[in-house]
Amino acid sequence: MTETGRVRAVEASGLLADSIRASGLKVTGPRLAVLRVLDQAPHSTAERLYATVRAELPGTSLQAVYGVLAAFTGAGIARKIEPAGSPALFERRVGDNHHHIVCTRCSAVHDVDCAVGESPCLTPSNTSGFTVQTAEVTYWGLCPDCQTSTLTALSTPAPLSNEGAQ
């Protein structure tokens, strides 16, 4: 790593530590590691975060990662989303009432900005007397990769064996 690269990495981890501290939590090795991975791979499951964190901190358990995620969501520095049929996903982008679009084939998840920029971004036709704080929308569809592979599957006859494939 170049000197500049090293300095940047140290700064980045300082910023992560700052945001943990600012949320009122103590900075620990596992918390720093989980937050760093979450920063690079938003919409990750606990298992996926665990696989990456374990490479960095071999002593970390899956249970510890779940504990860190619970602390993060409780302190408001991470958000948990649960699209139907998917395990819980975690991300650092919080507090902006953004929504998600999910691929029905490969489960890829992307952010969709809040339609009006503030919560709740949808006005219910009937609130049944409730006060409304947030609205969470999940859009479902096919991601660009899956659209391409669907088109390819339709236009190319399936090869009879692997040897026939190009």
The nearer residue to Zn ion, 8 or 80, going by C-beta atoms, is 80
Residues near Zn ion (CB under 5 A) are 91, 103, 105-106, 108, 111, 143, 146
The nearer residue to Zn ion, 62 or 81, going by C-beta atoms, is 81
Provide the residue type at 28 as one letter: T
The nearer residue to Zn ion, 68 or 102, going by C-beta atoms, is 102
To Zn ion, the closest distance from the beta carbon of 144 in angstroms equals: 8
To Zn ion, the closest distance from the beta carbon of 72 in angstroms equals: 14
β-sheet bridge partners, residue 117: none
Tokens linked to 111: 């952010």
5-42 burial, b at 16+ Cβ within 10 Å, e below that, comes to eeeeeeeeeeebeebbeebebeeeebbbbbbbbbeeeb
3-class DSSP assignment, residue 40: helix
The nearer residue to Zn ion, 8 or 93, going by C-beta atoms, is 93
To Zn ion, the closest distance from the beta carbon of 61 in angstroms equals: 26
To Zn ion, the closest distance from the beta carbon of 76 in angstroms equals: 15
Provide the residue type at 150 as one letter: T
